[in-house]
Amino acid sequence: MVVRKEKKSRKYRGYRTHGWGTKGQHRDRGAEGGRTVGMHKEKWSWLVKYGEGWYGKHGFRNPTSKVINSINLRKLQTLIDNGTIILTEENGKQVIDLEKYGYEKLLAGGSLTSKVVIKVKHATEKAVEKVKQLGGEIILTSKE
């Protein structure tokens, strides 16, 4: 699919119908889908039954923000104890690959009880210090 360099609406400035033929075409709501008219009148019973949250403000998601899945040491220890995260043996060391479990960053809250090698994209300085004090290590896998 080719990406336009400018918006189509800018291209058609001064051309009354913007490429939609004679006057009045492409003006009505048509079969565009999404929210339709009549929801506060003839379709009210459907709205009451199925359309919770139809009206009102629904928040804003900042398109420039990044969501990073993170885990702190306390939560990591509980997941190890539960058996949710399984330790693997490599060269006689206990190893955890957090990327395999969907975590990108290790935070320093809490503490671990055993020395482990943790593979993760990002980690805070305090988390690295805490793991090193136990005799473990953190291997950062990100290229940054």
- The CATH number of the domain where 98 resides is what? 3.100.10.10
Residue 10 inside a domain? The answer is no
3-state class (DSSP) for residue 72: strand
DSSP secondary structure of 38-75: TTTTTTHHHHHHH-TT-SS------TT-----EEEHHH
Residue 57 inside a domain? The answer is no
Looking at this protein, which amino acid is placed at residue 127?
A
Q: How many CB atoms lie within 10 A of CB 88?
A: 11
Residue 132 inside a domain? The answer is yes
Residue 81 inside a domain? The answer is yes
Q: Profile the chain (144 residues) by mean pLDDT over runs of 10 residues.
A: 80 89 75 68 89 87 90 92 89 90 92 90 93 91 78
Residue 87 inside a domain? The answer is yes
The total of structural domains in the chain comes to 1
Q: Which of 30, 31, 3, 21 is nearest to 12 (CA)?
A: 21
Residue 15 inside a domain? The answer is no
Q: How many CB atoms lie within 10 A of CB 38?
A: 10
| CA atoms of 66 and 120, how far apart (whole Å) | 17
* pLDDT of res. 3: 80
Residue 125 inside a domain? The answer is yes
Residue 19 inside a domain? The answer is no
What is this structure's pTM? 0.56
Find the domain containing 125 and state its range.
70-140
* pLDDT of res. 8: 84
